[in-house]
Chains A and B, each alone.
Chain A
């Protein structure tokens, strides 16, 4: 499962930060996940809850996911639109000359520690 590989990445990074900042434990991990980032939030949360048991600092950590909307910009008509609905093709003018502005984030925003 794709989510597990990414969760392992996140956990390793957070565990390192926790060790460096000499905290007792991490109580929450807050992440920003883009709508078109290839991460499925439910699977990600399940994987997180499974994988956290094997860590030093995250055993009791809760995961909060902030979902960011996927938005695409059209170079031809300078319009923006929702990526999830229209993918690469601009709904305003039909152009394929477009690029993703937001929505592919898999970002660790912050953690709460005690």
Chain B
């Protein structure tokens, strides 16, 4: 029989990810960069909202976007055309979440010398992206009206890690039994500190308020 040797590793995948995330947060804070991780289900309006946020904020901050969510028709190129800021497309190979390592490599590829606000459009999924800290300064979680106001109860961790939640597609609320107050209550049950914004990209409602919040947060990070 072949002789074998045992090598102890004893490393937890998520603990390692969390360690790396701490390091990224530290590095970004030193570089005075605000890194926003946008998470939600597929089709909940991430790309649409990001384009609207960027177009409102691009005169105030130098912005970069990392696209991890591969959308068949709206890819990095389209977003770049719609906003004029730099966008990098990650190659995730159909993965369901991105790890901190992937996040860091994407940041380096995007280039950190000429940005103060980086937005990551994470992979459309309400489960595992929440378990893998990307090193972001804050997490923005979207919940769209057609998904239902009970989602914070069904996907607790996603709403626990959110600093800010945007309810999206409020223009279609009449067609669904979506109750804004119930949604807010369910979010607060998971995370009483999460700020909630009620938005419609189509009607351009609530987006300015979310921009004001982000401006305040970004300013805190980059002016210290």
Tell me the A residues contacting B by CB distance below 8 Å: 1-2, 4-6, 8-10, 13-14, 17, 21, 23, 27-28, 38, 104-114
Shortest CB distance A3–B (Å): 9
Q: What count of chain B residues pass the 8 Å CB interface test?
A: 23
Contact flags (1/0) for B84-100 with A, using CB distance below 8 Å? 00000000001111010
Other-chain contact of B131, A8, A9, A38 (Cβ < 8 Å): A38
On whether the beta carbons of A113 and B10 are closer than 8 Å, the reply is no
- Chain B residues closer than 8 Å to A1, beta-carbon distance: 96
Tell me the B residues contacting A by CB distance below 8 Å: 2-14, 16, 94-97, 99, 101, 127-128, 131
The verdict on A105 contacting B7 (CB below 8 Å), with A5-B99, A38-B128, A114-B2 known, is no
| 25 A-B pairs in the complex with CB atoms less than 8 angstroms apart | A2-B97, A2-B127, A2-B128, A4-B94, A5-B96, A5-B128, A9-B101, A13-B9, A17-B7, A17-B9, A23-B7, A38-B127, A38-B128, A38-B131, A106-B13, A109-B8, A110-B7, A110-B8, A110-B9, A110-B10, A111-B6, A112-B4, A112-B5, A112-B6, A114-B4
Shortest CB distance B102–A (Å): 9
On whether the beta carbons of B8 and A106 are closer than 8 Å, the reply is no
Shortest CB distance A39–B (Å): 9
